[in-house]
Structure 1
Amino acid sequence: MARGQKKNTGFSEKELELLRNFSPNTSSKGMAVFWIHALYVVIVPIWIQARVHQYPVGEQMIYLVLGTLLQAFALQFAYKNVKNVQKEKIALQRTEAVSAEVTAQVGTKVARQELEDRILWRKGEVAENESIHFSILYNNCIYLGLYLLFSVIFFKNWAPLTNYTFSIIVAAGAVAGISRTK
């Protein structure tokens, strides 16, 4: 096939849009939301280490930057996994409400097939947004809870760098691992 030519899939543009709505891929907007949330959530351990454990932030900046990036990657991975599982469940739960909403908006002005397509599109949009936000909340709660548990209780007597390193590895690793089991 020559460069620039589209592959003929046999689907119309509307059908392709519906397929994209229900694919497990996360939109670029969703990925940006995931990365932003992951980056600001993983900064919380730095603040805790600096204030509670008296971690010398200026002297250990390379460890903090590496730890932050690794944690953000693990959280983003977990966000995506949980979102994919929850999207289907949310879509099933919101079917009646979305159908009523779309029917109230367009009424009997459109053909039945067009109405069903609009309902499917809106259901995918609602499920995408709700699953993104649920995934962020769910994973952040688990991550911060585990981090506090290990940092403040289990590793509290360890040296600050060791405490930070093991706490973030356990918390981020557990969240990424838990996300794969759903």
Structure 2
Amino acid sequence: MLPKNINDWIVSNPRPINRYGKEYEKIINNLFSSCSVQHLKDYMITSLEAEKALIEMGINPNTAFYEYYVAFISTDSSENEEVDLLYDLDEIYEDYKQPFHADDYPNITDRYFRISSIEGESSYFYDKKIDAVYEVDWGEMDDFMAGRLKPIFTSFYDFLEWYYSEED
């Protein structure tokens, strides 16, 4: 189960189940009108494609992380600026296949997935083994990988509640 405010948002912006029908056409027409045909073929648009990737990545289907990324698809973020800051599943999956930190930490994706960019001088990482979220500054990667950092949220659900809260 996802937090109510996120469920409400996802209901109005659903990820289509497959590449047929009105939901898929709406995504293509409204969100990807400027994309190339090849990009659309490569982009994980449907929930079935998302489920396949999440299972390959070893994500537990009984977690908010799994539920969120099966339902969530990047949209125009003019109404919800936070959407641009968290990676969509395509970016997480690409980093899973070719990790940004692979040179220094070759096994990072055995446990952790980077779920945001480093633009704010830190990134959020999801721990798939314990369903926790960490905030890791540039200089803290060694401490993070050595287990010396504490998670900022002990569940992805709690992270989502905080991340999408209306408080500043």
Higher strand share: 2
Q: Taking CA–CA contacts closer than 8 Å with sequence separation of 6 or more, which of the two structures ends up with the larger relative contact order? A: 1
Note whether the superposition's TM-score is higher than 0.5. Answer: no
Which one has a bigger Cα radius of gyration?
1
Higher helix share: 1
TM-score normalised by the chain length of structure 2: 0.31
TM-score normalised by the chain length of structure 1: 0.29
